[in-house]
Structure 1
Amino acid sequence: MLKFVESDTSGLPIKRKQVAKACPRCRRRKKRCVHENPAGNGSRVGLPVSPSREPQDSQIGGSAHIPSAKPLTAAPLESLPTPDESSSPRGHSSRFVGDLNPEAIFMEATSLCSRRDISTPGGIGVWQSNKSHGHKPAGSPTSNLPLQQTAQDILRSYMLQHGLPRCPPPADFSVLRRIYVEKLDPIFPILSDDLISPPQEEAPRIVLQQMVSLAAAADPEATQHLRLSEQGGLLSRQEFCSSLSNSIQMSIDAGVITDRILLTRILAALSLYMQPTCPEDADVPALFNSRAVHQMHTLGLQMATNEGNEKSQMIRSLFCCLWALDRISAAFYGRACLVHERDVGWDLEDCIRRQPPPFRLLLMIISLLDKVISLYRPANRNEKDVLIELPIFEQMIIDAGATRMSNSCLASLEIFYHSVAILSSQSPAEVTSTALPAPATNSRRSLSADRISSIVGEEFLGQLAYMPIIPYGVSLSLSVSYRKMRHSKVPMFRNRGKQAFRANTLLLKSLDDTFWTAKAMVAMAEQVLQEMDKAVASLAQETGLADSSKKADTVSQGEGSTSQTAASADILLDSSTMQGDNNWALLEAAPDLDVFGYFDPTFDLGAVDAALEGNLDFGQSSNWFDWQQHWG
């Protein structure tokens, strides 16, 4: 026998009296339960209570009146948790269910707190407002497993006692914060909003301070402020950054950060600024980028909101940061892009135009990098040379309205621009490495590589915004000079390439205590230089080029200088004091000799070629720590 239940004007059913049931745990403890009974909120399947009527369950004896959940408004992210709400155990969050999921059909039909997506005509899914019960970490799946909950409680307790106290003293942190705000935040404002309005809870606020300190530690000015306690001594960059990175990672795993927006920001910043310390951590920065993108998709940050939403600009800026970081991670680590424009509801060009000038300039360079990445996808190898046209960097500065940026920030972004320029040309895969490159490719790469070396080593030495884009640019410059040194047939160009290779190695060595990529490159480059000097010295002795050079000098300078020339040659050929520069000049008499062919057979020259030349093809060479294990 069927009985139809009437509905009121708001669409809610006029329900019959129901009995509230407690969960098994509350029944055992003889306590009033608010965990089970979804009708306890005055709604069915999480439906909100109409403000004009009292929840009927409040009339049931023994049940307490529970505040009703706020329904979602038309904008998809109107119900994103504020810091106050998300830090509360009873905070609200939103869940997006696409139309490909059958659940969306029933959710839209049965749940009044669901709202259809409005980012596109007709929408592509449904937003559902969820109310969390109990204090659960934002980044962890909900689970009632006692073992998992116990382990997380232990980890959280340990972090509160030992991990969170690892923070610079106020005097040192003020300097690190100033460095971050002046040099790093304008370029990549991933933490801007939380720096302006810090979290009210102590634990997330400390994690935010740790993240700022970790990012600013790479700057030379921070050297005298790398402390983690008032009484503690000064630490090296590696010790300081390693301690902070471990503490932040453990805080994330312990569920200390319950605000998903803040969690997304911390994951993204950690992906950019953390420095692995062992081979097992080589892929951790890329992993944190993927976790940040996962949170972005969970929150629906890629879906556009209407302009009336007060959080629209914050969501737009955060999405731009994540989109840019995804492209940077693809270039640095040879990873596939995780954020695709076909899945984005925002107008990307409009989003870039609405950003502050320094960040806008970075996004314009990222847009160029996005085009360059398309050259290196597996199915896009062309049969002829490809060269992507790039705008002039000065014009990009004017178009971005960034003429008033500080010189250090502009120079840092210019390094990134020239890095993209080096990668913006591609030769067919079948062209051998010994062939001369295309004229446009050769000139663009050479000029950009020289410009990077000049900015880092001379013009703005110690003044840059020391983000990972700096060692990445120098590494590309090192690879360009290696190819010139490795494959040139003219001794003058080989010697010029060697000088540039040595200069870039010294630049990377000055950064290797901060950036792990620089450390891996330096270990390999130094061994290459040592083997080259040994090979040149051996060739000069075996072929008699040193003697012929001495005879030529004798004829041109006269008999009076013979003894000085011989003495100089003997000093240059002494393996204990030889630098190898003048020995290369001795090979001008035999330009066809290949120095690399005389390397020690035990030296893995093929691995060097694969690493350094593959560095110009970021889809082929990404595991830096394999190199560090092999060479360091």
Structure 2
Amino acid sequence: MIRFVPADVGTIGQKRKQVSRACNGCRAKKKRCRHVEASPKDLDSQIQAAQLAKGDDRIDAINDDYATSPTADSSTIPASTRPSLQVSPSENTRNPVCQSTMAAPPQDTLAPRFVDGLNPEGVFLAVHSPQDTRGAFSHDRVGIWLADKLNSKEKQNDRTLTRSWPQSSLLAGRHSLLPPHESIRNLTSIYFKRFHPILPIINESAFRSLGPTDPAYILLQQGICLVASMIPSSKGHLFLGDSEVPLQHREFGKRVVSAMRISTEAGVITDKIVLIQALVLMWMFSDGPDARDVSSLLCARVVQHIQSLGFHVYRKSPDQASHYESTMLCCVWAIDRLNATFHGRPVLMHERDFGIDLAVYIDSQMPCTRLFLHVISWLDKVIDMYRPNAELRSSDLEIPFDSFEDLLVQSQSLRIPTPLLGQFIILISLPRAVFSLSRIWLIFSPKATIETLYHAVSILSCRPRSFNTKILSSASRSRRELSAERVTSLVLDKQVCQLTYFPFVPYAVSLSLSVAYSEMRHTKVPMLRARARDKLQINCGLLERLGEIFYLAGLMSDMGKSTLDEYDRIYLTAVEDYQQNYSGSCAALDSIRATERVEIIDNSNAVPSTSREFESNNGVNGHSLLTQESDPSFYVDLPDLDVFGLFDPNFNLDGIDAYLEGNLNLTYPTNF
């Protein structure tokens, strides 16, 4: 008969202890056998080994309760007083499980151990190391934890190894996630010509002085290529690795961002200045449904690093401080405001915590940057209108808003250098044949890009007194609609300028779409409703084009287009019913009127010809307005029709309202 005996009898971890059989001698004497049981020393060793196998997590958690105790140093404890984990060969042979469990670290790497107040060892510790145990065994404590200094040193060595390992093993991988040399040169040129004049987060001179194998250079070069890839003209340079065809904008961005996140999270770069630059460049690209959370986390890390450097409390004038330090502080301050606007988050940097005059730092910047920061200053005032207690201060809901021309004068940005202004006037002066045959690239206008942001801020400045009623004053409504139309025209008209696609460009278009949707949703005038529908359709097309670069722009375009499809379906159905119902009644009305007209002519000749001419010219008799084909111009003929009230219940109109109209509320988190 074969009997299976478990191999782990008597070990730790079983639900019920298995009783071993006595030896032959004890069985003959009818006595309790103690020959095969584990000795107390073996059991203690097994328990200590199991505690070591669980790691230091539980010990660290308990050790927090005794963090104030001065007994964290056990370097003065004699080695002889420490428990030994050595197991004799005979014991290991007898218990193979114990042998595998007891493969513990050497004595110097022991975890901290607990000495309770009733342990006599505490008396010896108080004699040999009174500085470590003074006050430890008081009435409110049950013991002390003895931590080994060697363990802390080992943890520091492990941390050093984790930092040096990615730097050596991922160097080749990061190189493979850079475009070819020719593409790098073109993308770098695009970045410093189009993005850098407005947001100079990169120290260009310091960047160009880095070596090509420097990890900081590789990280910043990836960020520069990432931001430059958001320009449509960069499509031909988006190569990575061994790809033979250019990648799509979003695919290129996702791969580069993944590589940059590995470098920043693995601790390859420790310079906070470089980390701030890289994180800001990563913040400018957002993709995927979690873009709001990722961007907000990146912004929080940027603010944390710059506050760690103390740039916000340095009491230095712009002449005494480094110019780049003041520029970096202004850029991070602007990013914090934009992030709060896009994602409905509170700002993290407050001027009451600054030890410097931010206005002086802003005035010391270059013209394009200075104009951009002046618009951000207005945005900061608008954000204050959307704070939770803003409804209690009704006087603050309407602020005097300067025109864009006034901002140009205030920021002294009228004389921006010609390469930054654009050459549209020169191109107009060329002959038409030369203009049509020559392939001339329009140099972008940073003024138009910043003007797009200005009109987005202008839209947000028109806040209703209550978001439940959405009632605006006439002046605020007119300003909001004009700013929305201006945003659409700036992005739509390619012949005026080439916009630089900062994240606030699709955000401004989304605000214009929300304004058009709100007007179409709540207006009672059919003509204005038809006009708002056309604006909504145009903005959906613009966001669809921007969706090739910005994921959330395409998402908002899809919601707008689905709303338009449902709206047109219901409206055309209502128009067809309207035509069918009124065509028969109008035909009967025409026959009655013809009979009456014959009787009137026969009896008396009192009807003036001018009346009949007026009726004929206005289509009353011919009812041309009722029999024409259904086209967009026909939307003005059904004033009493509530199209949105006829939407399919499965369409989730409430969700569309909450997202599209909630986009105009800064306190409402949106995915931009």
Give the Cα–Cα distance (whole angstroms) in 2 for the partners of residues 466 and 164 of structure 1: 27
Structure 1 residue 538 displacement after superposition: 2.3
Listed one character per residue, the Cα deviations across residues 584-623 of structure 1 (whole Å, up to 9, x for unaligned) are: 24xx2x3122110111110111111111111111211424
Contact 1:536 1:583 in 2 (8 A): no
Which of residues 388, 400, 407 in structure 1 aligns to 2:399? 388
Match of 1:186 among 197, 208, 214: 197
8 Å contact from structure 2 (residues 207, 217) kept in 1: no
TM-score scaled by length of structure 1: 0.68
Alignment-derived partner of residue 411 in structure 1: 448
- Contact persistence 1:267–1:289 (CA under 8 A): yes
Whether contact under 8 Å (1:185, 1:192) holds in the other structure is: no
Q: Deviations over 1:333-357 (max 9, x none)?
A: 1111000001111101101110111
Distance 1:518 1:150 in 2: 42
Counterparts in 2 of 1:309 and 1:341: CA distance versus 1, 3 Å: same
Please, which of 459, 481, 484 is the counterpart of residue 519 of structure 2?
484
> Does residue 163 of structure 2 align to residue 173 of structure 1?
no
Report if the CA contact (8 A) 2:179-2:238 is conserved: yes
Deviation at 1:383, TM superposition (A): 6.7
Q: What do you get for the CA RMSD once the two structures are aligned?
A: 3.0
Cα deviation, residue 180, structure 1 = 0.9
| Structure 2 counterpart of 1:373 | 383
The one-letter code sitting in structure 1 at the alignment partner of 2:274 is: L
SS of the counterpart of 1:536?
Answer: helix
Whether 1:528 and 2:528 are equivalent positions in the alignment is: no
2:323 is equivalent to residue 313 of structure 1? yes
Question: Of residues 490, 498, 514 in structure 2, which corresponds to 1:463?
Answer: 498
Deviation for aligned residue 1:319:
0.6
- Equivalent residue, structure 2, for 1:234: 246
Aligned to 2:347: 337
| Cα distance between partner residues in 2 of 1:194 and 1:290 | 27
Deviations 1:340-389 (A, max 9, x none): 00111110110111011100001100000000000001111247472221
Q: Secondary structure at the match of 1:144?
A: helix
CA contact (8 A) 1:610 1:621 kept: no
Give the Cα separation in 1 of the matches to 2:321 and 2:393: 48
How many angstroms apart in 1 are the aligned matches of 2:384 and 2:649?
A: 38
Match of 1:607 in 2: 655
Question: 352-361 or 230-239, which moves further after superposition?
Answer: 230-239
2:262 corresponds to 1:250: yes
Which residue number in structure 1 is paired with residue 509 of structure 2? 474
CA distance in 1, matches of 2:553, 2:500: 16
The 3 A distance-change label for structure 1 pair 489 and 548 is farther
**2-structure distance, mates of 1:349, 1:535:** 54
Q: Which residue of 1 aligns with 2:640?
A: 592
Which structure has the bigger radius of gyration? 2
**Is the 2:513–2:536 Cα contact (8 Å) retained in structure 1?**
yes
Bigger shift: residues 153-162 or 322-331: 153-162
Pairs within 5 Å for 1:400-439:
400-403=411-414, 404=416, 405-407=420-422, 408-429=445-466, 432-433=469-470, 435=471, 437-439=472-474
Match of 1:221 among 233, 243, 246: 233
Residue 206 of structure 1 and its aligned partner are, at CA, apart by: 1.3
Deviation per CA, 1:28-64, whole angstroms, max 9, x where unpaired? xxxxxxxxxxxxxxxxxxxxxxxxxxxxxxxxxxxxx
Gap change, CA 1:476 and 1:281, over 3 Å in 2: closer
Name the counterpart of 2:50: none
- Name the structure 2 match of 1:513: 548
* Offset, 1:280: 3.6
CA distance in 2, matches of 1:351, 1:417: 21
> How far 1:192 sits from its partner (Å)?
3.2
Change (3 A) 1:156 1:560: farther
Cα pair 1:388 1:425 within 8 Å, conserved? no
1:187/1:359 contact within 8 Å kept: yes
Q: Which residue among 284, 300, 309 is the counterpart of 1:290?
A: 300
Residue 264 (str. 1) matches residue 264 (str. 2): no
Instruction: State the match for 1:323 in structure 2.
Output: 333
Conserved in 1, the CA contact under 8 Å of 2:371 and 2:407?
A: yes
Contact 1:223 1:237 (C-alpha < 8 Å) held by counterparts: yes
The answer for unaligned runs of 5 or more in structure 1 is: 1-141, 573-579, 625-632
Identity of aligned residues (%): 34
Q: 1:582 to 1:306 in 2, by over 3 A?
A: closer
Q: For residues 364 and 656 of structure 2, what CA distance do their matches in structure 1 show?
A: 44
Over 3 Å counting, the alpha-carbon distance change for 1:311 and 1:269 in structure 2 is farther
Q: TM-score, normalised by structure 2?
A: 0.64
Question: Which one has the bigger helix percentage?
Answer: 2
Distance 1:250 1:196, change over 3 A: closer
Match of 1:361 among 338, 362, 371: 371
One-letter identity of the residue aligned with 2:657: D
Equivalent residue in structure 1 for 2:287, among 276, 291, 298: 276
- Quick one: distance in 1 between partners of 2:581 and 2:421? 52
Alignment correspondent of 2:356: 346
Q: 2:515 corresponds to which letter in structure 1?
A: V
> Is this contact kept in 1: 2:342–2:671, CA < 8 A?
no
Offset of residue 258 of structure 1:
2.2
Distance 1:306 1:462, change over 3 A: closer
Give the drift of 1:270: 1.5
C-alpha distance in 1 between matches for 2:584 and 2:554: 38
| Structure 1 residue 176, shift from structure 2 partner | 1.1
Q: Is the 8 A contact 1:421 1:445 kept in 2?
A: yes
Task: Say if 2:464 is the partner of 1:454.
Answer: no
Please list every run of 5 or more consecutive structure 2 residues that lacks an aligned counterpart in the other structure. 1-152, 423-444, 591-615
Deviations for 1:486-539, whole angstroms, at most 9, x for unmatched residues?
100000000000000101111111110101221121111111011101111222
Query: For 2:453, what is the secondary structure of its paired residue?
Result: helix
CA distance in 1, matches of 2:521, 2:205: 49
Q: Once the 2 structures are TM-superposed, how far is the Cα of residue 312 of structure 1 from its aligned partner?
A: 2.4
Paired residues, what number? Answer: 465
Q: Determine the C-alpha separation between the residues in 1 that align with 2:499 and 2:350.
A: 31
Amino acid at match of 2:537: R
Q: From the superposition, tell whether residues 281 and 557 of structure 1 become closer, same or farther in structure 2 (CA, over 3 Å).
A: closer
CA, structure 1 residues 559+315, in 2 after alignment: closer, same or farther (shift >3 Å)?
closer
Partner deviation per Cα, 1:62-91 (whole Å, 9 max, x = no partner)? xxxxxxxxxxxxxxxxxxxxxxxxxxxxxx
Q: 1:468 to 1:541 in 2, by over 3 A?
A: same
Q: Structure 1 residues 557 and 423, CA, compared in 2 at 3 Å: closer, same or farther?
A: closer
* Residue aligned with 1:378, SS: coil
Q: 612-621 or 444-453, which moves further after superposition?
A: 612-621
Paired residues of 2:527 and 2:635 also in contact (CA < 8 A) = no
Secondary structure, in 3 states, of the residue corresponding to 1:283?
Answer: helix
Match of 1:394, as an amino acid? Answer: E
> Structure 1: how far apart are the matches of 2:618 and 2:250?
54
Match 2:531 to one of 482, 496, 502: 496
1 CA distance for matches of 2:620 and 2:364? 75
Is contact 1:169-1:230 (8 Å) kept?
no
Q: Contact 2:318–2:364 (CA<8 Å) still a contact in 1?
A: no
Would the aligned equivalents of 1:306 and 1:312 in 2 still touch at CA under 8 Å? no
Per the TM alignment, residue 158 of structure 1 is displaced from its structure 2 partner at its CA by 4.5
Give the superposition deviation at 1:398: 2.5
